[in-house]
Chains A and B, each alone.
Chain A
Amino acid sequence: MAGELVLLDFWPSPFGMRSRIALAEKGIPYEYREEDLRNKSDLLLQMNPVHKKIPVLIHNGKPVCESVIQVQYIDEVWHDKAPLIPSDPYQRAVARFWVDFIDKKIYELGSKIWKTKGEEQANAKKEFIECLKLLEGELGDKTYFGGESLGYVDVALVPFYSWFYAYEKCGDFSIEAECPKMIAWVKRCMQKESVAKSLPDQEKVYEFILQLKKVFGIE
């Protein structure tokens, strides 16, 4: 069942982090391969010819692309340990809805925060906080989105925490001040080894963003 498992990834990618967390939660050994996105490997281009993007999970030579699909695949194949996706079909549908919401909103809005200025940035910040507040509503009083244990929505969302410091510095705002429940949830997640080990240091991510800004000529 384990076979050969390779993850093609890039250290600051929140999408790659999702798969890292899922694999760590289930204690599955795998080979992590860092990709240089300016010089993509032949393997990456072969395994993801459509998008040429990371992360790619390669299991016994067969690729699984798209982070949310990887997390589902990992959960299905290694279903006996630390289940991430709810077993009840309706709860599953609710979880999938929120993961879809996160995918549609968080990355794009976050990108706008560090890439833009003025009114565009202000609008992005406003919408970003509104989205986090909606997610806080969904979390409610639960320890995790998954209830008592880490679940699909937790795994999909928590990687973005590693970018929060960069968003805050670029956007000159405090996410904790606006969404304290969200940060409290993040801190609970970060106490888990699977999460803490899968997320890079926030300062490192901020330095990376500063580099990107230079490269793209963004002030």
Chain B
Amino acid sequence: MAVVKLFGAWLSPYCYRVIWALKLKGIAYEYIEEDLSNKSPLLLQYNPIHKKIPVLLHDDKPICESTVILRYIDEIWPQNPLLPADPHERAVALFWIKFADDKSPLISKLFRTDGEEQQAVAKECFEMLEVLEEHALIGGKKFFGGDEINMVDIAFCSVAHWLGVIEDFAGLKIFEPHKFPRLNSWIQNFKSVPVIKDNLPDTDKMLALLKRRREMLLASKSS
């Protein structure tokens, strides 16, 4: 039987993307938590180019980059497909996944910056939310994937969960439900899906870790 292993980090939204995809398709896997401040030799061997998580190992073959992993999982295990079958609809889904990939780093940048730089990042985040509200969620769909979540919903998980935690932590208010009604509905719907609800990092634990990391970051900046 093929062995599936996932190298991840409990705080990383990119790691959760893969966990949800595996669970949605009912794939058994072994999870290996990586200490990102002390990466294992195995991780460095499996992802020598970027040295990052997540890395999926399938039959000892490593696959790196969360979106590449998601597409691999979807192709190897076709049950509960995560992308539309129609080529044009698939192209549109891939467009939004790329948008999510390009913009998600802004959310962690909010946490790593302060002052004017943080204000500039916050503005970019706001503009990203505006694009989603105006262009991606038209048609009154429950999810980006229609009636069920798909890879696009999974790709925007940072907006659904991580953004709120970082906003709380940094004392920012970028997302406001009344300003983004469609996005707000989507977030509520997404976080109600059982596989998502049952597999999200605990908010309090996240805040505690973010506080510690931020202290270390600012200390290293000023030294």
Contact = CB atoms under 8 A, between A and B. Distances in A.
Nearest to A60: B88
Interface stretch (A5-13, A92-100, A140-148, A152-160): A92-100
A24 interface: no
Given A76-B87, A89-B76, A97 B64 contact: yes
Interface in B39-79: 49, 58, 61, 63-65, 67-69, 71-72, 75-76
A68 B90 CA distance: 13
Contact of A92 (B61, B72, B99): B72
Contacts of B69: 93
B72 A93 contact: yes
Contacts of A62: 88
Contacts of A73: 87-88, 90-91
A59 B64 CA distance: 32
Interface of B: 49, 58, 61, 63-65, 67-69, 71-72, 75-76, 87-88, 90-91, 94-95, 98-99, 131, 135
Contact of A50 (B68, B91, B99): B99
A22 to B, nearest CB: 13
A64 B98 CA distance: 13
A183 interface: no
Nearest to A105: B49
Interface string A120-156: 0000000000000010000000000000000000000
Given A101-B49, A134-B49, A69 B72 contact: no
B68 A64 contact: no
Contacts of A77: 87
A69 B90 CA distance: 9
A64 B72 contact: no
A50 B95 CA distance: 10
B45 to A, nearest CB: 15
Interface of A: 49-50, 59, 62, 64-66, 68-70, 72-73, 76-77, 89-90, 92-93, 96-97, 100-101, 134
Nearest to A99: B68
A120 to B, nearest CB: 18
Q: Is chain B's binding surface mostly helix, strand, loop or mixed?
A: helix
A77 B63 CA distance: 26
B61 to A, nearest CB: 6
Given A50-B131, A59-B88, 19 more contacts: A49-B135, A50-B99, A64-B88, A66-B95, A66-B98, A70-B91, A73-B88, A73-B90, A77-B87, A89-B75, A89-B76, A90-B58, A93-B69, A96-B68, A97-B64, A100-B65, A100-B68, A101-B49, A134-B49
Nearest to A88: B75
Contacts of B95: 50, 64-66, 69
Max chain B Cβ within 10 angstroms of own Cβ: one of A50, A97, A101: A97
Max chain A Cβ within 10 angstroms of own Cβ: one of B69, B72, B88, B91: B91
A102 B167 CA distance: 33
B64 A90 contact: no
Nearest to A131: B49
16 contacts: A50-B99, A50-B135, A64-B88, A64-B91, A72-B91, A72-B94, A89-B72, A90-B61, A90-B72, A92-B72, A93-B63, A93-B69, A96-B65, A96-B71, A97-B64, A100-B67
B125 to A, nearest CB: 16
Contacts of B71: 92-93, 96
Nearest to B50: A101
